Structure 1
Amino acid sequence: MRERMTDDEAGGDTTHNEIHEGTYYAPVTLAHTVTMRMSGPAPRALAGLPAAPAGFVGRTAPLRDVLAFLDPRGPGEPGVLVSAVAGMAGVGKTALALVAAHQAVEQGWFGGGVFFLDLRGYTPDPAERVSAAAAAGQLLRAMGIRDGDLPPTGSERLALYQSVLADRARQESPVLVVADNAAVSGQVEPLLPAQPCHRLLVTSRHSLTLPARLIDLTVLPEAEALDLLRTAVCVGGRDQRLEAEPEHAAAIAELCGRLPLALRITAALLRTEPGRPLADMAAELSDARGLDALDSGDLDQHGRRIAVRTAFDLSYQHLLESQPDQARLFRLLPLNPGPDISLEAAAALAGTPERVVRKQLAALARAHLLTTPTYARWSMHDLIRLYAGEHGHAQAAAHDRDRALERLQRHYLSVARDARVHLTALPGRPVPGRFTGRDAAMAWLDAERANLVAAVTFAAGDSGRYEFAIELAYCLNEYLEWRRAFNDRLTVTTASVTAGTQLGDRRHEGGSLINLGNALFEVRRFDEAITAHQNAAAIFRRLGDRRGEGTASVNLGNALRQVRRFDEAIAAHRTAAAIFREAGDSRGEGMVLDNLGVALFEVRLFDEAIAAHQSAAAIARRLGDRRGEGTALDNFGNVLQQVGRFDEAITVHHSAAAIFREIGDRRGEGMALHNLGNVLQQVGRFDEAITVLRQDLRICREIGDRHGEAQTLNSLGSTLRRTRRFEEACTALRDSATIFHELGDQHRAVRGLTHLGDTLKEAGRPAEATAVLAKAKDRSAAMADGGSREEPPASGPGE
């Protein structure tokens, strides 16, 4: 792994590019870097509102409260410009918000526009959750700002969003924003309007800590539940059954737990059988056996449990009678370990052609047994998933569930293998397989990440699937490292070690320990990383596997260096170099020598460090390993900077950047440019340094390297500060600290805030400086108290 040089203070502290061997299975080589555009424009928010739900009834008091908040003529609450509708899933939060918003539109209260966006706060993949900055981008587009005019950073987009709101306030054009599915206050707090004419309406499953008027929805009152049932049954025509059988209608509402979701499912079943008496439906609901743990925990006046399970039973029975093939797919879908499933994966699971499965999935979605969170992906409500799983276990023999699961696992493993080949291939070299390129491979991995991680975890606990867990974890290693998905990487590598141990395959166990050690390294759990690599080295030593021992030793040296055990680190690297030299593995030897140079640099043995990097570059050059040569040269340039040989350092960094540019390695090019910018700053060539750092910043944004973006912004801020361009410097430093904080790298975030505070002080803004420095102090104290233990920093080796 290689990392750019940072510049926390004027002049910067050198950060070396360094190699981690990702796994012992692959050839020992320089860490693979991936060239791609990592993120496209955010999805567009709707310029207006989705349609109000048909058949909305009841909620009189909550609706009145929301409308009172929206009404510009009402007294309102001073300073409260946001209202939050909270409640459990399926209780109707979004429906209430949309109905109120449409009524506000009809009243003409928001001439500046009404905008709706889904923050996706409860999606299992954190990467899919919409941040406040991304939401601001969506809203700006909906407000008419073109993509080309959007600022590049999140903080700038939030600032522009507030500026647009201020402008519309001046024009007496109030705006309403409906923010649906917020999980945390941080998703919406930056969107709060500053002007009293605007409104923000939020829905969430949590009671958010916002300065908001809270409206907490519970299950429907009995009368409103009956109204909803009546309205839903009568969609498309009249139905006299509720008037004819009021007692049975009331029983149905209670047996559905008065939850809108369950009431609508039951109404849909009644619509399909217009001649069926409600008494028969109520009796069937009452007699059904449900998921005992998933009832309301309450009893009705007759002593019967109030549960939603019974509605699922009726829906399932109807499916069994009318579409047995759909019922079979419904029972198999819970075998998918993650939150949703693609068409291709569902077809593999069912052992059925995609064209057939697509129709079955669409039918299940129309029956409200599946949802479609995104195009061509299907998911189950948690309750329905558990329900379907129980029926699947009951039908296990008939469907041969083990074979179905095996088909699904083969699918995930096969595609993951193809994706990994694209991620590890040299730039510009054609790669066979199902993907058109790295971008397509990464897109698939992004979409399936939650499923793949869950699949590894599940298989590691199943005695018949240990090998699958190990191999899939291996396929995910580079991807999760690139995405800096620290928690997922730890989960996957830990599961892989468990599987290797249970399997009794020491070679697998050793390889998994290397990967675990590297994952622990990324989250700064260096002592545990050291133990993992020591254990891996011991396993390979006992097996007589010299290459495995060498791989473990070089990674052990990297971890030892981080805890300042430099002599041991140097010894570990020299041991690894000797092993690779003895085995005739020149590529591995060159990789180790480059890391050895980094360790020698740390103890100020600069001449030896230079020799190590030069040797590494020479080996890579002889082997035609252009990426290895570029990495060694970039690290060589860092040492030259330290000994004051600045002109040589500039030449070497230029050469490294040219090599990476030649082979299409955008990430490597950006790192070399970063280090070049820092040495240019040191010799006072500030304008050149700013130009080079901005080139690096553009590359980071193009490939989606947010951690690199934060580091570059930090160095850029330092350079701008030295040219007394304080406004630009403060913007860069503030954005840098924000990104580090969002990524969980609290150490660098605190240092960035300190740097920003010092810059504000120098710029003659003492009050702002004091506030920023106090914030840095508070965060530092929180880290000292263990408050950051759950937030792995996005830092690599060589800090």
Structure 2
Amino acid sequence: MAPPRSTSARRRPAGDTSRRPAGTSRSRGLEALSERYDAEGADRVERPGPPAGTRQWARASDNGRNYQAGRDQHVSETRNYWGPGSGPAPQATASLPPDRPLTGRKERTDALLDALAPDGAGTTVVTGLPGVGKTVLALHAAHRAVERGRFPGGTLYVHLRGYDPAGAVGPEQALESLLRALGVRDGDLPPTVEEQAALYRSELNRRAGAHGAVLIVADDASSPGQLRHLVPAHPAHRLLVTSRDALTAPDFRARLVPLDELDAESAAALITTALAEVSPDDPRAEEDPGALERVADYCGRLPLALTIAAALLTDDPGLPIATLADDLANIRTRLKRLQHEDGDGRSLAVETAFDLSYQRLGPRNARLFRLLSLNPGPDLSTEAAAVLSDREERETRTGLATLARAGLLNEQPPRSGRWRAHDLIRLYAAELPEEGEKEALERLLTYYTTTCDAADDHLRALPGQPVPELFADRAAALTWLDAERANLTAMVPHAAAGHSRMVLLLAESLSVYLVQRRHFHDALTVNEYALTATRELEDRRSEANTLNSLGIALRRVRRYDDAIHAHTQAAGIYRELENRHGEASSLNNLGIALAEARRLDDAIHAHTRAADIHRELGNRHGEANALNNLGIALQKVQRYEDAIHAHDRTIAIFDEFDDRYGGASALNNLGIALRKVRRYDDAIHTHTQAADIYRELEDRHGEAGSLNNLGIALRKVRRYDDAIHTHTRAIAIFEEFDDLYSKGLAERALDATLLEREKDRERRGWRRWFRWGRGRGPEA
């Protein structure tokens, strides 16, 4: 064997021929590592000083080792400290996976770049539901940060496989991977995780001094335990984590960056970009943008689902996007369709991604997750979830928070007590078997029905009437109804089969609210299902009530002939049942529909009959309602003085009952009649009163109607600026309700005011010119 080319003499105790003294751990040898050569040469290793002895050893280059005992020198072949070859150990400090196209995430990218700035957070966790694009976002932000020169010390990447069925990467495995990337040889890896963590921090500290800040990206973590030892001690370094769980612990503090699904435009753009990458000439996205939007909606705008949809389209260049959209329209097969397998047998599926999170849940939280899908609306309250799961509310919130940390739910908005799952996750949960579904649904339906009935009592009650104590007042009842509207209206068709009586009660409790809040299409749907239920039950009284409510909804969507037919049927059934209160109510509503259809004489007759019946029965409040509507019909045939008389009587009766809502309506109608007979100041006063009352009652649409009428009255007395301001406020409110018809009326009134103001200015200008020409101007 050729002698070594270079040696470095060291002493060892006599008789010791091993590389390390017996009983000395490999970690103790590593603890003694204190110096290294620079990157161009081998690192120098200082080992513990030996006791006096006669034997020396020297480390040779390559695979040689030089021993000397007395005057004899021996060279043996063994593994070099550095492993095969000479020089420093290889390092992987630019190990980020490639950047991928990112769509619609500018705000979140900016948030991550702020966190990765020198004055940002030490540890940041990108969190969100499975398939929402956490890894793509994190890597994109990491590449942008590197491009800006923020991490001259390099980047490290470790995939923690937190949700892998085969098991997550443990902290020791993660540390070993990172230490190797930093240039530590296998032979020098300490045996315990604590010692590995100490060496990891030391190497990062050394690198901070020699090269600068390092970015560590830990992808797909599932617990703080995987991350505690990865947090760098040096303040210059950054740890960027992705996880389905919102990872927090007393000894693990991180900035959380939540990630939601894409907006509609970005979701469609993701598929378009993917198609263009494979085939720039693919025309399908441009040819059928409507179908593309449908696919994006059926994918719930979830990046994983969108990516799979794009892959299905690129695999089959002849597949129309509309055909894929039709396939995904079926909610029963949608999740099965959203899967893709490549030529190597690797599959990508939305359902599989959800499985990995669901399987980590404990039994009680897994059951809670399954039951949540029984709620038909888009979200639910903690109280409703407690009813579904038959658990205490505080315990239920703890379970919901666990599901939220697992990325399967979101509390939206935060601290609201309302929980929402992604559409595809809801479909996934609905497919999971649950033995107690029927009982849970009945509990939920009972809860919604009884609570809605209590809220409805507040809406129907006159001042002084007793109401259930479940709500403090009318405003509290409206707040609950507003929050639960989507659930309540969706529950009616959801529970229609087998729960006819409960569906009927729920529909009756919703009828006033839906009309007052102008949710007319919801009212149509609810009452159509309720009408079917009444006929299944052969309940004629409820059938008449439902026809009456249905007629109101039909009139509000301008289906006047259908509304007239419904109210006529209702009045006939009430008459058959000798229910004169119901008959009078139906006749009053029939008169409104007839007036809208311009059958004004019939409308006046119907309102007059309704008012007479209510008067005979001593129902003063019902009489006031009929008189109010009679006044409107009289105005339409230009019997303004009669209309004023009817509205005055209406206001007097509503004042008896302290019915401010009815009074506001009558004041607004009276103001119109007063304007028609040129009593403009009185009209301005009554419209102002009406708008103020509606504002107090939080009836924004009623307020807008009164403001628009007030603007017209102000124009008549040439208070143009006040009128313009008032019309503008009305238009803004109508926009809130997306009421294009009323908005159009207000805009025409505003245009008329602007035009009249210009004409008035012109007239005054001509007057000034004429006076000047006659010698009466300022120079005369």
The alignment's TM-score, normalised by the length of structure 1, stands at 0.53
How far apart are the structure 1 equivalents of 2:545 and 2:652? 35
Task: Report the residue type matching 1:329 in the other structure.
Answer: L
Whole-angstrom distance in 1 between the partners of 2:638 and 2:593? 25
User: What pairs up with 1:429-508 in 2 under 5 angstroms?
Assistant: 429-460=465-496, 462=497, 464-508=498-542
Closer, same or farther: CA 741–372 of 1 in aligned 2, 3 Å: closer
1:357 to 393, 396, 414: 396
Q: Deviations over 1:156-195 (max 9, x none)?
A: xxxxxxxxxxxxxxxxxxxxxxxxxxxxxxxxxxxxxxxx
Deviation, structure 1 residue 737 = 3.8
The letter for the 1-side match of 2:111 is L
Matched, 1:96 2:109: yes
d(CA) in 2 for partners of 1:521 and 1:296? 43
Q: Which of 345, 354, 361 lines up with 1:312 in the alignment?
A: 354
- 1:632 equivalent in alignment to 2:627: yes
- 2:451 aligned residue: 415
**Whose helix proportion is higher, 1 or 2?**
1
When residues 685 and 508 of structure 1 are mapped into structure 2, their CA distance, relative to the original with a 3 A threshold, is: closer
1:590 corresponding residue in structure 2:
611
Q: 1:325: Cα distance to partner?
A: 1.1
TM-aligned CA distance change 1:341 to 1:723, over 3 Å: same
TM-superposed deviation, 1:478: 0.8
User: How far does residue 741 in structure 1 lie from its aligned partner after superposition?
Assistant: 4.9
Distance (Å, rounded) in 1 between the aligned partners of 2:108 and 2:645: 63
Classify 1:417/1:229 alpha carbon distance in 2 versus 1 (closer, same or farther; 3 Å): farther
Which stretches in structure 1 are left out of the alignment for 5+ residues? 1-56, 64-85, 108-215, 247-262, 276-284, 578-588, 594-615, 768-799
Tell me, yes or no, if the aligned pair for 1:229 and 1:267 is still in contact at 8 Å. Answer: no
Q: Distance in 1 between matches of 2:760 and 2:341?
A: 63
- After superposition, where does 1:711-726 map in structure 2 within 5 Å? 711-726=705-720
Kindly tell me: are residues 240 and 527 of structure 1, through their superposed partners in 2, closer, same or farther at Cα, counting changes over 3 Å? farther
Q: Check whether the contact 2:335–2:350 (CA below 8 A) recurs between aligned residues.
A: no
In the alignment, which of 363, 367, 370 is matched to residue 328 of structure 1? 367
Cα distance change, pair 406–714 in 1 and its aligned pair in 2 (3 A): same
Letter in 2 for 1:401: E
| SS of 2:419 mapped into structure 1 | strand
Residues 630 and 659 in structure 1, CA contact (< 8 A), matched pair in contact too? no
Following superposition, the deviation at residue 675 of structure 1 comes to: 4.0
Contact 2:607 2:630 in 1 (8 A): no
Q: Give 2:550's match in structure 1, choosing from 499, 508, 516.
A: 516
Contact between 2:161 and 2:221, CA under 8 Å: does it hold in 1? yes
Aligned partners of 1:554 and 1:592 also within 8 Å: no
Q: Using the TM superposition, give the Cα deviation of residue 332 of structure 1 relative to its aligned residue in structure 2, in angstroms.
A: 0.7
Q: What are the Cα deviations for residues 633-684 of structure 1, in whole angstroms up to 9, with x where unaligned?
A: 79569959988886x9878756754654554322223233334444554565
Aligned equivalents of 1:228 and 1:505: distance in 2?
A: 69
The counterpart of 2:668, out of the listed 660, 663, 674, is 674
Amino acid in the other structure paired with 1:411: Y
Size of the aligned set, in residue pairs, is 499
Displacement of 1:519 in angstroms is 0.8
Equivalent in the alignment of 2:743? 749
User: Which one of the candidate residues 264, 267, 279 is aligned to 2:221?
Assistant: 267
Q: Is the 8 A contact 1:480 1:488 kept in 2?
A: yes
1:511 and 1:269 map into 2 onto residues whose CA distance is 57
How many Å separate the matches in 1 of 2:532 and 2:452?
Answer: 21
Superposed CA deviations along residues 503-549 of structure 1, whole A, max 9, x for unmatched, are 45455444322221221011111112223334445666777877666
Q: Specify whether residues 638 and 410 from structure 1 end up closer, same or farther in structure 2 by C-alpha distance, changes over 3 A only.
A: closer
Shift in alpha-carbon separation, 1:504–1:759, aligned structure 2, 3 A: same
Distance 2:740 2:583 in 1: 34
Residue 429 of structure 2 aligns with an amino acid whose one-letter code is A
- Rounded to whole Å, the distance in 1 between the matches of 2:101 and 2:378 is 32
Amino acid at match of 2:502: F
Bigger-Rg structure (1/2): 2
Asked whether the 8 Å contact 1:269–1:315 carries over to 2, the reply is: no
Helix, strand or coil: the match of 1:763?
Answer: helix
Alpha-carbon contact 2:604-2:633 (below 8 Å) kept: no
Q: 1:302 aligns with which of 328, 341, 344?
A: 344
How far apart, in 1, do the equivalents of 2:443 and 2:559 lie? 37
The 1:314–1:421 alpha-carbon spacing in structure 2 relative to 1, beyond 3 Å, is same
Counterpart secondary structure, 2:380: strand
Residue 377 of structure 1 and its aligned partner are, at CA, apart by 1.4
Identical residues among aligned pairs (%): 40
Q: Following TM superposition, by how much is the alpha carbon of 1:222 offset from its aligned partner in structure 2, in angstroms? A: 11
- Is this contact kept in 1: 2:547–2:570, CA < 8 A? yes
Unaligned runs of 5+ residues in structure 2 are 1-95, 121-131, 143-155, 163-167, 182-216, 230-303, 305-331, 762-780
1:757 maps to amino acid: D
In 1, Cα distance between equivalents of 2:718 and 2:407: 61
Return closer, same or farther for 1:272/1:411 CA change in 2, 3 Å cut-off: farther
Matched letter for residue 418 of structure 2: R
Aligned to 1:344: 383
1:458-516 deviations in Å (ceiling 9; x for gaps): 122x2x11221111101111111111111111111112123334445455444322221
Cα distance in 2 between the residues matched to 1:627 and 1:312: 56
CA shift, 1:218, in A, is: 11
- Counterparts of 1:747 and 1:244 in 2: how far apart (Å)? 69
Aligned residues of 2:158 and 2:178 also touching (Cα < 8 A): no
Q: Say if 1:536 and 1:552, in contact at 8 Å, map to a contact too.
A: yes
Aligned runs of 1:17-96 on 2, under 5 Å?
87=104, 92=105, 94-96=107-109
CA contact (8 A) 2:100 2:140 kept: no
Deviation of residue 264 (structure 1)?
Answer: 10
What is the alpha-carbon distance in structure 2 between the residues aligned to residue 687 and residue 101 of structure 1? 60
| 1:382 alignment partner in structure 2 | 423
Change (3 A) 1:266 1:225: farther
Q: Distance in 2 between matches of 1:229 and 1:454?
A: 45
User: What is the CA–CA distance in structure 1 between the aligned matches of 2:98 and 2:485, rounded to whole Å?
Assistant: 39
> Residues 498 and 736 (structure 1 numbering): CA distance in 2 closer, same or farther, change over 3 Å?
same
Letter in 1 for 2:514: L
Does the Cα contact within 8 Å between 2:171 and 2:225 map onto a contact in 1?
no
Change over 3 Å in CA distance of 1:362–1:645 after alignment to 2: closer
- Please tell me whether the aligned partners of residues 456 and 473 of structure 1 are also in contact (alpha carbons under 8 angstroms): yes
Q: Give the match's secondary structure for 1:318.
A: coil
1:108-147 alignment to 2 at 5 Å? none
- How large is the RMSD of aligned CA atoms in angstroms? 4.7
